[in-house]
Amino acid sequence: MSTATDADPAARARDLLGVSRLTNSALTGWLHGLPGVDQVGCEARAAALSTRSVKTTSKAWAIDLAISMIDLTTLEGADTPGKVRGLATRALVPDPSDLSTPSPAAVCVYGDMAGLARETLGASGVKVAAVATAFPSGRASRAVKLADVRDAVGNGADEIDMVIDRGAFLAGDYLTVFREIVETKEACGGARLKVIMETGELVTYDNVRRASWLSMLAGGDFIKTSTGKISPAATLPVTLTMLEAVRDWREATGVQVGVKPAGGIRTSKDAIRYLVTVSEVAGEDWLDNHWFRFGASSLLNDLVLQRQRMATGAYSGADYVADDAPSGY
């Protein structure tokens, strides 16, 4: 168990690694010393979990839980103030025909739109999440990335979704990635930090595990699969690997970290598969929107339609649900 405080990730890292000075060599030895991921076993377990059936009462509960876990997202170059206000309004009232429908956890936008989302959401409890650090590429100077974060927080963001420098990570420069996450966390102030690893570019499950542990070591509050801008985005085996990482991290440090799969999760069946995997792999403590999120746009529509069907016994049809999903996410 680490004795370093959460406020000092460098001290905690030195403590966990058993070194007096944090170096790239020390990080490399530690990360490459993590147990490897059995690719065949991981994919087989994910496939088995995805076949679990959920009974009617549990399904109704799971649908409401999934809705409450959505980061309702628009991240397009063509985003307009009207579109962002409309998305935030949708988050406040996901189904005007049934006001008992829970609201999503957050609305996720570019940092310059965070103020518009904040104005609309007010004190509703729905968070404002903003992407930053030169999203989605992560290709900018450290100073520009940190200014991006401070600007988003200044505009009213409660949560920051940063992208790691995948080039540095894949080149084995783990210390650069660590320091960037630490400095980004400091720039967040009181905002929670989600660390996007862009797992589709990391290629292997071993790299996903290493990036997960590195992100948590540096103080990330969440680890997130993807930007939603490349394929593959979120997959069940990758998310399973990340859930194992947060479970093992809590066992090692006593610190709980959230998980956010993003991109490509569009249906109620998809969402329920993920919730079953969360329960079976990490445990019930993560079945809460403080610790698990879906980065999605069209997912809300399908969940609302399924909720209506369970209440009335018939599908309302897609025309009765607002289509606020931007393309490509």
Catalytically active residues, by annotation: 161, 224, 260
Dihedral sign for Cα atoms in the order 315, 321, 327, 329: negative
Nearest-angstrom CA–CA distance, 305 and 308 = 5
User: Which residue, among 102, 81, 66, 91, has the nearest Cα to 270 in the 3D structure?
Assistant: 66
Residue found by looking up tokens 């589709």 in the block: 200
Dihedral class, residue 18 (left if φ above 0, else alpha if ψ from -120 to 50, else beta): left
DSSP conformation class of 262:
B
**C-alpha pair distances (Å), 55 with each of 61, 270, 289, 304, 308:** 10, 16, 22, 18, 17
Question: What is the spatial distance between Cα 44 and Cα 39, in angstroms, rounded to a whole number?
Answer: 8
Q: What is the DSSP letter of 198?
A: -
Beta sheet of 106-110, edge-to-edge order: 258-260, 222-224, 192-196, 159-163, 127-132, 106-110, 70-73, 294-296
Per DSSP (E only), the strands in 26-105 are 70-73
Whole-number Å distance between alpha carbons of 27 and 220: 17
Cα dihedral value 180, 132, 160, 269, nearest 10: -110
Token digits for 146? 């940190």
Residue with tokens 């993920």: 274
Residue 42 has, within 13 A of its CA and on its CB side, a CA count of 19
**Dihedral in degrees, nearest 10, Cα atoms 256, 260, 261, 265:** 130
